[in-house]
């Protein structure tokens, strides 16, 4: 791992990891910048929340790339502070790109993972989903692992923060108790993007969909699809139809969408407030009403 200067900026980090002089910089946020290199190539430079964030994202991108299925930006390098990747030139969402993405996601998931909760090779056990901590601890079966290492930790955080009232917690706890019967047929661990909401799908100028900012781990393949549903995605019907044609989903999977959305909704409740807690409660009630 490279040693960095605490006063280093995005241009210097980009030059250090690519070996090319930086000729320009455009700040997109406090943590993200586009840097133009000598010759015109543009890279993305992200300032992480410590080593674990940059390491987790870099390991996730490489693990997804290793499957040879979905398109992800190439990683130029990372250290305790910076992550440098290629920039994706974006275009407009298209039906053909959506159908390709559906097939590519099916192939990505089929590439598999060593266990539920397994981090990418070289990735930390204590990782992140967006700005929120996400612990990659393995488990032998998905229902128990999902309850113990995804839903219940964030349920406790939401109650402790006062975002979700203690008397409301049993609604979600009952879902966790019934997960073995609610989860559908057992499936092997899939290789997940892990944070597959619409903002992490870039529609490339090359006519393909590209995936960024993963929270990659071994999980249930329906989780990625439920995330696409959570905030909507262009041509979602075409993505899902192509996915189902390539790798048919188990009967009743649409009834389980809310079940898989419980974790990201609770994460959002902790980060962004009561509205997401109410959505999590509604998803829990819907899951147990069947």
d(CA 49, CA 231): 25
Alpha carbon of residue 154 to chain centroid:
16
- What's 228-289 look like in SS3? HHHCCCCCHHHHHHHHHHHCCCCCCHHHHHHHHHHHHHHHHHHHHCHHHHHHHHHHHHHHHC
Determine how β-strand 132-135 pairs with β-strand 126-129.
antiparallel
d(CA 213, CA 232): 17
105-to-34, 113, 116 alpha-carbon distances in Å? 27, 14, 18
Q: Which residues share a beta bridge with 127?
A: 134
153-to-157, 159, 227 alpha-carbon distances in Å? 6, 10, 19
Helix (H) or strand (E) holding 24: strand 22-27
Catalytic status, residue 195: yes
**Residue found under tokens 């799908």:** 201
- Say if residues 174 and 45 touch (Cβ distance below 8 Å): no
Catalytic pick among 79, 195, 213, 224 = 195
Residues tagged active-site: 195
């Amino acid at each position: 791992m490279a040693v960095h200067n605490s006063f280093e900026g995005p241009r210097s980090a980009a030059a250090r990891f690519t070996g090319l002089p930086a000729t320009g910089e455009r700040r997109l946020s406090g943590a993200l910048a586009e840097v133009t290199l000598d010759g015109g190539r543009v890279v993305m430079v992200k300032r992480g929340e410590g080593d674990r964030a940059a390491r987790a994202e870099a390991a996730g991108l490489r693990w997804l790339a290793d499957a040879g299925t979905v398109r992800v930006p190439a990683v130029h390098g990372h250290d305790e502070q910076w992550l440098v990747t290629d920039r994706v030139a974006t275009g407009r969402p298209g039906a053909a790109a959506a159908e390709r993405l559906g097939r590519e996601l099916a192939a990505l998931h089929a590439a598999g993972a060593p266990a539920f909760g397994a981090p990418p090779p070289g990735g930390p056990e204590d990782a992140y989903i967006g700005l929120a901590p996400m612990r990659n601890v393995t488990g032998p079966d998905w229902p128990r692992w999902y309850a113990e290492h995804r839903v219940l930790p964030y349920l406790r955080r939401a109650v402790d923060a006062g975002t979700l009232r203690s008397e409301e917690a049993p609604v979600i706890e009952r879902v966790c108790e019934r997960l073995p019967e609610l989860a559908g047929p057992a499936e092997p661990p899939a290789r997940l993007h892990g944070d597959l909401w619409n903002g992490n799908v870039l529609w490339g100028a090359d006519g393909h969909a590209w995936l960024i900012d993963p929270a990659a781990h071994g999980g249930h393949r329906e989780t990625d699809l439920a995330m696409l549903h959570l905030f909507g995605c262009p041509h979602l019907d075409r993505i899902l139809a192509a996915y189902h044609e390539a790798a048919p989903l188990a009967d009743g999977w649409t009834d389980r969408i809310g079940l898989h959305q419980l974790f990201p909704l609770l994460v959002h409740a902790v980060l962004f407030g009561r509205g997401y807690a109410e959505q999590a409660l509604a998803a829990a009630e819907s899951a147990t009403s069947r």
